[in-house]
Chain A
Amino acid sequence: MPTVDVLSGMRLLIRGGRVVDPSQGLDDRKDVLIEEGLVTKVASSIKPPSGIETLDAAGMVVSPGFIDLHTHLREPGQEHKETIRSGTLAAVAGGFTAVCAMANTVPPNDERAVTEMIIAESQRNGACRVYPIGAVSRGLRGEELAEMADLSTGGCVAFSDDGKPVINAQLMRRALEYAGMLGRPVVAHEQDLNLTEGAAMHEGYYSTLLGLRGMPAAAEEMMVARDVVIAELTGGHLHIAHLSTRGAVEAVRRAKQKGLRVTCEVAPHHFALTDEAVQSFSTNLKMNPPLRSEEHRAALLEALADGTIDAIATDHAPHHFDEKNVEFDLAPFGITGLETAFAVSYDRLVHSKIVGISRLIELLSVAPARIFSLPGGTLAGGSPGDVTIFDPDGETSVEHFVSKASNSPFTGSTFRGRIIATVVGGAIRYDGRTTGGNRASEDVPSNSAHKRRSKS
């Protein structure tokens, strides 16, 4: 697999922070030394090597870098919504040192040339690491397998037709078998299309009240149940994207009890909000899966605490203002998430005492690295110098976005917890220490725009 390191040779000493690294059971006041872009030492009071840049993390939590398993970067093809550059700048502003880019671009990432383009562009202009996810099927059409081995060789870390379910059970079976040979997971967007035809929100009291067509929880749950059965049949690794219902949680819990290779992620909006909010008819509350009712939200919180849910992933889905500035039924599904995921999660999970800081870091960093077999997710010696530093006593007021898009349901809200710095390969790619505003775009060296034009 080609390197996706964005930088190497950087040196940094992070001093005096509370280092929380669940991969090593570490929670202590330590310094972290990064040399040649790799973590070389985590210890008390490291003497600064001469000429090294230092970052004072006193009072802050120092975590292995957050990894988002589910990001829509929109490039190639929909650069009016987001680009690899703007999306990765948003990622580091939100504390993410790596993102996994979903395949539903235009053209989709269903062949190696697209994979290589994404990797090349992220190395030129990306602010964090980018791991492409390849398509399960050619053209995301759900008919025949994409060239998964070639995609894997090109750098794809998982396979998904996300945005659409794999309706054909035989295709899902073959995908799990074939991806299993490659040692990669299949990421499933679970939705029965017949049960959700024309639907714009969760089916329940509020869809009835608003006269909007609803997606029943069953539409997700029956597909989760089916795919768990196929995972058992094939022995493949099934990763369920943006799990949102009680029944889906229960199906995953049973699969895990049986010892199947089934993992899952949840998006922050699904445990922070409910369908009650859709009464405003704001199109920034329209996403798929939709905001569910309180009983489902409660089940997600329980599953986050008991370990049934493995990871938090953003499902960052940027859309242009014009696309969302229409009637609710006509607006595209999806909301941005990279810049709010940590604060929403910290506020609703840690501050609300659902989980501790260590478990949150496991959900945002350790587990994502493990599920997709990615570098990082740890501060063990020799691992990538990817570090997220946050202030547990700080606050994040959601006002402006680094992302090209601003389709967030959290605009105007304030959450506990604040990203202070995001370090990728030893380089500070986001620095929120001084202004409290987003300075990422100034901090990231732009080796980019004009060079890119001259090459093309």
Chain B
Amino acid sequence: MRTVGLRSKDLLGIEPLTPDEITLILDTAEGFKEVSERPVKKVPTLRGQLVINLFMEASTRTRVSFEIAEKRLSADTLSFSASGSAVEKGETLIDTAENLMAMHPDMIVIRHKYPGAPKMLADRLPASIINAGDGAHEHPTQALLDAFTIRERLGRLKGVNVSIIGDITHSRVVRSNIHLLTKMEANVTVAAPPTLIPAEIEKMGVRVVHSLNEALEEADVIMMLRIQLERQGRLSFPSLREYHNTFGLTPERLSRAREGALVMHPGPMNRGVEIASDVADGPRSVILEQVTNGVAVRMAVLYLLAGGNLADS
């Protein structure tokens, strides 16, 4: 029988989800994508529900995307960041969260620099907790919007060859994507210098290569990751120049990939480092579609965690 709801009150990561749950979220998002294309982009689904966006780490895209998704579902929303809050006075995360909980939010969306922070909240609070990125651990809605984009463009996830290129060690996006894509039976390759590949990642069911050309061969989807500029000089690679020369995606290199290969990037991009502007803005790029789809996917997640099901959406 088809899954009609999510089992957990929280979305802490892709790892705990079943393939059916992933399909449910993606199918539900299809319906919500249409809402964003109407002249009046709003449905009353979450009317009367309070969603708090607790962003303890900088974010533009994800935060705005969640806020828009919440507003299009008619939820009351409130966004909150570490700077200018009691966190700067030394309040602990748990105290902050318990104080917010005392005001009865139905859901809390949390972005935090440390892995496991959303789970800390989920274990202690009755509200639904949505992980909007925790350190290098998971960023589930990013992986869902990536999968939505791939499925919409290529018509399937099963058997699709996805190559993820960049700073694999420090990326939560890559971990969530590996969980999702392997559960959906896509083939995942990760590519980077060995200094940016974490220990034993092949046990997550991926192929590891250290050559961009090798990663591009056979790829249906090329997912570029941001090189975290602040890591330069931390012994992971000699220079941005050398990184660009060895792993940067240029039009010339892209020409070796399959004709219909999609180019994706979770943002924010470092143009001229991991990706050349001609590629980022070129015909194979679906980078802005990813952003558009992010709203629909987050609407689906909010809706399903609020107890909605596919039949009613």
Contact = CB atoms under 8 A, between A and B. Distances in A.
A281 B120 contact: yes
A222 interface: no
A212 B135 CA distance: 8
Contact of A326 (B92, B200, B201, B203): B92
Interface in A174-211: 203-205, 207-211
B93 A326 contact: yes
A204 B114 contact: no
Nearest to B139: A211
Contacts of B175: 209, 211
A281 B118 CA distance: 10
Contacts of A216: 199
Contact of A325 (B94, B134, B198, B200): B94
Interface residues of A, number: 18
B308 to A, nearest CB: 29
A27 B63 CA distance: 69
A209 B204 contact: yes
A319 to B, nearest CB: 15
A276 interface: no
A214 B112 CA distance: 19
A342 to B, nearest CB: 31
B203 A327 contact: no
Given A326-B92, A326-B94, A327-B93, A210 B115 contact: yes
A281 B116 contact: yes
Contacts of A326: 92-94
Given A326-B93, A326-B94, A211 B204 contact: no
B172 interface: yes
A281 B115 contact: yes
Nearest to B117: A327
A52 interface: no
A211 B168 CA distance: 10
**Which of B93, B120, B134 has most A Cβ within 10 Å?**
B120
A327 B123 CA distance: 13
Contacts of A209: 15, 175, 204
Given A325-B92, A326-B92, A208 B114 contact: no
B114 A207 contact: no
B198 A329 contact: no
Given A210-B115, A329-B115, A205 B199 contact: yes
Interface of B: 15, 92-94, 112, 114-117, 119-120, 134-138, 172, 175, 198-201, 203-204
